[in-house]
Structure 1
Amino acid sequence: MSHYKLRYTPMLIILLFFLTIGCEQSSNEMSLESTEQSVQQPSDTSPDQVDKMIKQEPLSVSQQPIKQSPTTQVVYTANIQLTVTNFERSKRELEKRFPAYQGYLVNSSENHSTEAISGHLTIRIPHQHFQSFLTDIQKMSGTQRPNIHVTGTDVTEEMVDLKSRLNGKEAMEKRLLNLMNQADKTSDLLSISKQLDMTQSEIEQIKGRIQYLTNQVDYATFHISIHQPKNALNTDTALNKQLHEALASGWVNFKSAIASSLIFMVKLLPWFITISLLGLITYLFIRYLRKSK
């Protein structure tokens, strides 16, 4: 019996060895076929799947928005009401002041009536000269204490949000351009092109808003109202009227005095002639008497 076991043991070992090799080869072939099928399987991507790929694709490290510590950005607006005694003089003085602060005039208007003269000016001044120009206005001559209302709007948070959105939209634009270069189907190209147009339009809107806010921060806005009230207007009018009336009255009195003098002289003329003749006769008579003696 032991002799029988020793005889068949080597044969069993050899049989098990070949069975093991055969199973491994079969497993490798099945794995290889599965891999080839997954690689060679054609891609069928719909436009909706393209949009999903665009939205789900994460930003790379270089494309992610960089968090910065922004400085405070404030939009300053000043509303000033000036009550003056001479509108034209105050307006000219104001128009001479703002160019010294590198400012510029946006618009100007005037309104003349029988009761008052009023006007409005909108002026932009660099933000670094805001306080200096505001102080200078209060020193203008011929004005009462002005009414001043200053407001400041902090747009720092909005600017940070806009720049973050801009970075995201620009990264989206780059991804869409890359997908457009890789797309083969017309449907994919149309879908990507539509997304690209919308993204580029949003980029332009964001850039326009950033540019507008930057200009508002860099230049403060002054809304200045100039008002010459009725009493000041009447005072100037009354003074001019009095001067005119005084001049006219003086001229009339002068002419009247000359006329009166002439009339008086004419009235005295007969008496003057009579007295002159009597004096001449008396002189001649006295002279005749002296010669007779």
Structure 2
Amino acid sequence: MKKSILLVLLTAIAITSCNQKETQGVSEPFATLVVEDEEMPMMRQPQATASSLKAPQLITKEVVKKKIIKDGRMGIEVNNLELAKARIDSLIKAYDAYYSNESMNNTDWKSSYNLTIRIPSLNFETFISAVEMGKGDVQYKEIDARDVTDEFIDIETRLQNKRAYLKRYKDLLSMAKNVKEILEIEEKIRRLEEEIESTTGRLKYLSDLVDYSTLRLTVEKLNDFKYNPEKRDKFSERIKQSLSKGWYGFIDFILLLTKSWPFLIVIIPLIYFVRKIRKKKKQDK
């Protein structure tokens, strides 16, 4: 009887201990899962802000500055020519321009200034507007703009290539082994230097046309018609001149005959024989 009671107690203790172990085994992973579930959002938030939110990379392109050549023709009719010219002179100073050519014409019908003006391209339009605001009527106006960007880039590229070739030939010249190679390389260097000089001149010419625009301006004033009688000498002086010219003409004629005496020697006998032949023919008839 005592043995059976002892066996029951041992069985109950064993079952109780097993239940406690199962409870502990289940609660520890769960606690861990709960902690992980609570910490996961906190762990993800800084990772998202630090690594995933990066600024996008911007792709930049090189902007090519346009090379524009501007030319213009303009004609203005004014009432006071000198006052208009003085105003143009003041505009030249104000806009950093200059005259490349200046001429004046004065006739019975009109007086005019023909001006070729070089103006900084940035001031070209404002200069023309300032001229138009002056006193006078605009007779004509023509503005032309040419885009030479492609030509400018092409010349610069060829110039860089020629300079690179020139450097290579100079390096080869230092390594030449005989006189023949030296002469051949020096000839190529000479040609390249001439081409570089010509290309550089063309580039400077285009740069000047781009930096300074050209305006051909004509400022004119119509004149009132006035009869101006032609000045003539006195009658006695004119008689003297006529007698003198007649005498000189006669002398020139005598000199001409004197110079042509060889022809007279040939012509006179020829005329004599021709007349004799004609006379004989008439007699035969």
Tell me the TM-score normalized by structure 1. 0.54
In 1, the alpha carbon distance for the partners of 2:214 and 2:78 equals 22
State yes or no: 1:160 paired with 2:143: no
State yes or no: 1:129 paired with 2:123: yes
The structural deviation recorded for 1:88 is: 1.6
Match of 1:234 among 199, 224, 236: 224
Equivalent positions of 1:56-75 (< 5 A) are 69-75=63-69
Q: Does the residue aligned with 2:163 lie in a helix, a strand or coil?
A: helix
Change beyond 3 A, Cα 1:234–1:92: same
In 1, the alpha carbon distance for the partners of 2:81 and 2:187 equals 59
Counterpart of 1:115 in structure 2 is 109
Q: Does the residue aligned with 2:66 lie in a helix, a strand or coil?
A: coil
The structural deviation recorded for 1:90 is: 1.1
State yes or no: 1:208 paired with 2:201: yes
Equivalent positions of 1:1-293 (< 5 A) are 69-141=63-135, 143-229=136-222, 233-234=223-224
In 1, the alpha carbon distance for the partners of 2:171 and 2:179 equals 15
The structural deviation recorded for 1:145 is: 2.9
The structural deviation recorded for 1:68 is: 6.1
The structural deviation recorded for 1:146 is: 3.9
- RMSD of aligned Cα (Å): 1.9
Number of residues of Structure 1 aligned to a counterpart in Structure 2: 167
- The percentage of counterpart residues that share the same residue type is 28
In 1, the alpha carbon distance for the partners of 2:108 and 2:200 equals 49
Change beyond 3 A, Cα 1:157–1:68: farther
In 2, the alpha carbon distance for the partners of 1:129 and 1:146 equals 22
Change beyond 3 A, Cα 1:113–1:87: same
Specify every segment of 5 or more residues in structure 2 that has no aligned partner in the other structure, as ranges. 1-60, 228-285
In 1, the alpha carbon distance for the partners of 2:102 and 2:83 equals 15
Specify every segment of 5 or more residues in structure 1 that has no aligned partner in the other structure, as ranges. 1-66, 239-293
* Kept in 1: contact 2:74–2:138 (CA 8 A): no
The structural deviation recorded for 1:119 is: 1.6
4+ runs deviating over 6 angstroms: none
In 1, the alpha carbon distance for the partners of 2:150 and 2:127 equals 28
In 1, the alpha carbon distance for the partners of 2:120 and 2:195 equals 30
Counterpart of 1:8 in structure 2 is none
